[in-house]
Structure 1
Amino acid sequence: MGMIDWAIVLVYSAIVIAIGAIASRKQDNTDEYFRGAKQIPWWALGFSIIATSFSAASLLGGPGEGYGHGFLYLQLQLGDLIGYGLVIAVFLPFFVRLNLTTAYEYLERRFDAKTRSLGSLCFLLFVIARLGGLLYAAALVLSVLTGISTNTAILMVGVVSIIYTVAGGITAVVWTDVLQFGMIFVGLGAGIWAAVTAVPGGFGELWRIAGENGKLVVFNFDWDPASIRSLPTALIAYGILAFAVAGTNQQSVQRYVSCADEQSARKAIFLGWFSGVLGVGATLLLGVLLFSFYQLQGGLPGNIKPDEILSYFIVNQVPPGASGFLVAAIFAAAMSSIDSALHSLATCMTVDFYDRYINIQASEMRSVRVAQGLIIVWGVVAIFSAIYAASTGQDLLEFLVSYTTMFLGPLLGIFLMGVLFPRINALGAFYGTVAAVLLVIIASNAGWLTFPGIWRSAVTAPLAVLLALGISLFASAPTPKHLLGLTIWHPVTDAPGTNVVARPGADDQDLG
């Protein structure tokens, strides 16, 4: 890293901070802080959807994946398309029409308050687990470039992320996401340029070597449930996982409900998916080219892990200027995920717990201040989670898949119960979900039920639905109040007096 490289990183950081500072001046009420007053353009929200999931782990793990396995990981984008398509068809109309702030408000209207709290808790655990990988990924680069320990780097990145996120609401998060996603492509372009221009024959020679070594294969039709590089697994297991992430994850839902209307939300979702295809493809391409590059160099040192390939390349091969863009891209990827995760955590804690149970009549500014305080709290928790992620020694992509799926199956099951199964009542939804989780944990630990981690959502979600149906038979069916406009079988009517968007208040004791 030379002076020009640090200058690029500092200028980029200054622009991001300026966006956050400008946006923070408008954060005087919860609608602005949590949803941007529904004034954010759909295309910005679309880029933000993918920037949120396109983390530093993706930017570091993607080239490592491409280096080792070529373009096979691209198959998962078909699973993402299935997941997003199901969200649009099943969940999106309810999220937008009901004027929600968090996805889990729907669960209270359809079932009761404890089910809402259970859903929100599952999300909180999911994001806490993911935050460890996000911070760890960014800290890896800082550690390599500066020589400081990984834990010290985690602390530095975590503190900076907390300070930046507290300043801005969803408006700042979204607009910085747009900038950060653009910087990611600039950095990837710089890396590809550095690899191509460093060898005789350029891109054509690197592409030829990759082809000779089987790195250009995109589809693997073999049935291998344990491998995310198998097309059936990508379509079925990962497709259901993507459905859970895109449809029940507050980080995604917060973008949908910030759109002006349902049509804008659909366009944002498809733009997010298409941008994701380009982003993942670009990271894999860089990894494939690095494979060919190091084949010509006699190979990588044996102590370099897949997640460290890009960092090693930056330090040893990338010329001044290009290094700065690559490092800025990595930090952009880190911030675009960390700020979104922290903001969504604070949103859920404030809306689903603080405003719901502690201070129902809280003022707008008090709720905003509580959310900002919670960002600090969750940021500290994320730092410890990242230190744990570093101690596991797993590859980043494997860590994110294995440690986040355990919370998503129950969450998907609850939402499917609400939208698709009108006979399921609050009793069945809550205890069916809890029972499903316990059964899967016990059966897995006892060896009675063994399946790869990526299938956890595909197994737990339908199991929760079946158990909920059975338990619901021991109690009365849900009342019309909990069905009208809340399932696909009970559409909203134009009858006078119909109101399905009113929020539950203190007098709705039957919901508690």
Structure 2
Amino acid sequence: MSGLDWGVLIGTIAFIVLYGVWKTRKTQQMSAYLRADNTERWWMMGLSIMATQASAITFLSTPGQAFDDGMRFIQFYFGLPLAMVVLSITAIPIYYRLKVFTAYEYLESRFDLKTRSLAALLFLLQRGLSTGITIYAPAIILTAILGWNLTATILFIGVVVTFYTVVGGTKAVSQTQRLQMAVMLGGMLAAAIVVVRLLPANVGFPEAMAVAGTSGKLNLVDLSFDPNDRYNLWSGLIGGFFLALSYFGTDQSQVGRYLGGETIAQSRLGLLMNGLVKVPMQFLILLVGVLVFVFYQFYAPPLYFNQQQASNVLASEAAPAWRDLEISSQQIFQEKKAATLALVEAYQTENKPGEEQAAHRMQQAEAKRKEIRQEAQLLVKTYNQGTDLKDTDYVFLTFVTQQLPRGLVGLLLAVVLCAAMGSTASAFNSLASTTVVDVYKRSLRPNASDGHYVRASRWFTVGWGAVSIFFALFASQLENLIQAVNILGSLFYGTILGIFIAAFYFKRLRGNAVFWAAVLTQIIIFLLYQYTSIAYLWYNLIGTILVVSLGFLLQPLLRKPA
């Protein structure tokens, strides 16, 4: 990295953190600390909601997902806009009427304390673990590509976020996330423009899309119904709808963002803004990944994008075999490049037979490239302690550091760190508020002063920050990073959503039945994950249906609690 890149990176992060601390330095009341004193405007909440969901994994792993698998991941978000409408109509009025600090407070008034505590516990478990991944993911990738120290990077992200979240609470999170979101969107838009400008002189955006389409990367919609397929229209609309309903309606990291709205209308507009903007934003991020794929059709990519792991192979007795694979990979690349240039020429001259012939040559070259890649991945797994990591998580940052001009590298790295900080800050704040409101205040110290609970919130923020940092230091990757977080969420969100659905819409159900239905459902979901191949998005629907159905079955069998 150049001095200019370091200046852009450090200056951007420092300004955002100091601005957030300065704007919220006098926050002392519990209402202000946990609910922003109900002063947030709709656009501020919309940006904060988006920044909470858009972790560093979004900007590192999603372009790699598109590079490897095309645009079909966009279907994951198709159910989100509908979920925002449903939550605006149903959940927000209830939360505002009860003036709750967390979503789980409502469950005690509707059911009982143990049901409230169970939902809060499931949230704390899921969010505490996933926050460790949101810290670990950018840290390990930055370490592998830039040579930064892994422990130091994890500590930097975790400690800085803990600091400004402790100082200002929800207000600090919202203030910083506005700036972070601006940096993230601006950086990705700049990356998309620069990638197109780096393509050969005779290749513009239309030609790039033609190459991407021929390579099967513009697979936006898949109409086939397959419960084992993670990304198709039906899993996105149905499974994605229930995941979004649970995440935005019951996860305190999101509920806490819109509970601070000035009015119900402001909070509704904030959620609807997220529903309208989120899908185009993800489309842009995926498009950047597709454009990077097109770039590497004209310029030779590395055999393996995780250079740290490749270096481990080169330092072993397998080095000659690795170099042979690199030579073979370069030869295949030249074949594919020639076929791609022929495709571009045929596209520009509207030569359909020429396009088909070039496409066939590209597919043959791609099949050979995949065979070489499989051999390389086997060597990586053998000489990296048996770890089989998907190097597509490293594609985008490799491109950024090797191909982008000075200054823009620092900006894109700032995008990654801003995303990590924004989502982590929301998680710390929500973990602390849930612990204080649903556990500490409710069951341990019910009659303490407002100032005491603010101090307790600050200490619990520090505690959860330490737990997440500890988990990040010992975490290991699960498949593609963006999928790892979504899988972890889907294991718990269906059960939590089922509890809330029962509370909102099934007035005959009582707390005892719902509590045990939720316990059984969570066990069943774990068993399904362990022993079946059902795509994880469906766990959200299955969990929701199970909680409600088992609740009705169990209610006649259980006596009402005393």
Please report the TM-score for the alignment, with normalisation by the length of structure 2: 0.81
Per the TM alignment, residue 355 of structure 1 is displaced from its structure 2 partner at its CA by 1.0
Decide whether the 8 Å contact of 2:35 with 2:256 is kept in 1.
yes
Q: For 1:255-270, what aligned pairs fall within 5 Å after superposition?
A: 255-270=257-272
Q: Deviations over 1:473-498 (max 9, x none)?
A: 245789xxxxxxxxxxxxxxxxxxxx
1:3-402 to structure 2, matched below 5 A, reads 3-144=3-144, 146-199=146-199, 200=201, 201-304=203-306, 305-389=391-475, 391-402=476-487
1: CA distance, partners of 2:280 / 2:559: 50
Say which of 471, 488, 511 aligns to 1:426. 511
> Does the 8 Å contact 1:427/1:475 carry over to 2?
yes
Q: CA RMSD in A?
A: 2.0
Distance in 1, matches of 2:518 and 2:46, equals 32
Q: Quick one: which amino acid aligns to residue 170 of structure 2?
A: I
CA distance in 1 between partners of 2:524 and 2:410 (Å): 50
Q: Percent identity?
A: 32
Sort the Cα spacing of 1:387 and 1:90 in 2 relative to 1 into closer, same or farther, 3 A. same
How many Å apart are 1:72 and its aligned residue? Answer: 1.3
* CA gap 1:402/1:393 in 2 versus in 1, 3 angstroms: closer
Contact 1:23-1:169 at 8 Å conserved across structures: no
The answer (yes or no) to whether the contact 2:494–2:539 under 8 Å persists in 1 is yes
Q: Distance in 2 between matches of 1:81 and 1:16?
A: 29
Q: Distance in 2 between matches of 1:452 and 1:307?
A: 21
Q: Distance in 2 between matches of 1:296 and 1:465?
A: 54
Q: Which residue of 1 aligns with 2:324?
A: none
Name the amino acid aligned to 1:435.
L
Q: Separation in 2 of the partners of 1:450 and 1:299?
A: 33
Cα deviation code 1:268-300 (max 9, x no counterpart): 111112221232111111101100001101344
- Deviation of 1:30 after TM superposition, in Å, equals 0.5
Give, in angstroms, the shift of residue 152 of structure 1. 4.2
Q: Could you say which residue in structure 1 is the equivalent of 2:367?
A: none
Instruction: Give how far 1:416 is off.
Output: 1.0
Between stretches 70-79 and 262-271, larger displacement belongs to: 70-79
* 443 and 6 in structure 1: CA distance in 2 versus 1, 3 angstrom threshold: closer
What stretches of structure 1 move > 6 A for 4+ residues in a row? none
Distance (whole Å) between structure 1 residues aligned to residue 106 and residue 463 of structure 2: 26
Per-residue CA shift, 1:60-83, capped at 9, x if unaligned? 111111212222122222111232
Q: State the secondary structure of the residue aligned to 1:168.
A: helix
Q: Identify the range of structure 1 (128-137 vs 96-105) with the bigger mean alpha-carbon deviation.
A: 128-137
- Secondary structure of 1:169's aligned partner: helix
Q: Which secondary structure state, in structure 2, belongs to the residue aligned with residue 298 of structure 1?
A: coil
* Partner residue, 2:490: 405
Letter matched to residue 412 of structure 2: L
The residue number in structure 2 matching 1:503 is none
Correspondence list, 1:392-471, <5 A: 392-442=477-527, 445=530, 447=531, 451-471=534-554
Counterpart residue type for residue 363 of structure 1 = S
Aligned to 1:504: none
Amino acid at match of 2:84: Y
Q: Label 1:11 to 1:302 Cα distance change in 2 as closer, same or farther (>3 A).
A: closer
- The letter for the 2-side match of 1:457 is N
Give me the whole-angstrom Cα distance separating, in 1, the residues matched to 2:251 and 2:115: 16
**What is the one-letter code of the residue matched to 1:49?**
I
CA distance in 2, matches of 1:267, 1:24: 24
Q: Sort the Cα spacing of 1:387 and 1:231 in 2 relative to 1 into closer, same or farther, 3 A.
A: farther
Cα offset, 1:155, TM superposition: 2.9
Take 1:377 and 1:347, find their aligned partners in 2: how far apart are those partners? 12
Question: Quick check: 128-137 or 450-459, which moved more?
Answer: 450-459
- Give the distance between the partners of 2:121 and 2:459, measured in 1 at CA: 18
Given residue 25 of structure 1, which amino acid in structure 2 is its aligned partner?
R
Letter matched to residue 297 of structure 2: Q
* 1:433-463 Cα distance to aligned partner (Å, 9 max, x none): 1122224435665x4x662322212112211
8 Å contact 1:132–1:388 — kept in the other structure?
no
Question: What CA deviation, in whole Å up to 9, does each residue of 1:143-202 have, x standing for no partner?
Answer: 145413434432332222222322221111112111111100121123223312222234
Deviations 1:354-375 (A, max 9, x none): 1111111111121111111111
Q: Quick one: distance in 2 between partners of 1:247 and 1:300?
A: 43
- 1:111-167 deviation per Cα after TM superposition (whole angstroms, max 9, x unaligned): 111111111111111211221221122213431454134344323322222223222
Structure 2's unaligned 5+ residue stretches are 307-390
CA shift for structure 1 position 388 = 4.3
| Cα deviations by residue, 1:97-122 (Å, 9 ceiling, x for unpaired) | 21111000000110111111111111
The answer to whether the 8 A contact 1:78-1:235 is kept is: yes
8 Å CA contact 1:194, 1:322 repeated in 2: no
The answer as to whether partners of 1:64 and 1:307 remain within 8 angstroms in 2 is yes
Separation of aligned partners in 1, 2:456 and 2:195: 48
TM-superposed CA distance for 1:13, in Å, is 1.6
Look up the SS of the partner of 2:262 in the other structure.
coil
The match for 1:502 is: none
Q: Contact between 2:517 and 2:554, CA under 8 Å: does it hold in 1?
A: yes
Deviation at 1:303, TM superposition (A): 4.3
Q: Secondary structure in 2 aligned to 1:227? A: coil
Q: What is the Cα deviation at residue 468 of structure 1?
A: 1.6
Q: Which runs of 5+ in 1 are unaligned?
A: 479-509
- Contact 1:423-1:472 within 8 A present in 2 as well: no
Q: Are residues 4 and 149 of structure 1, via their aligned partners in 2, closer, same or farther at CA, if it must alter by over 3 Å? A: closer
Find the counterpart in structure 2 of residue 473 from structure 1.
556
Cα 1:206–1:23, aligned 2, differ >3 Å: closer, same or farther? Answer: same
359-368 vs 142-151, which deviates more? 142-151
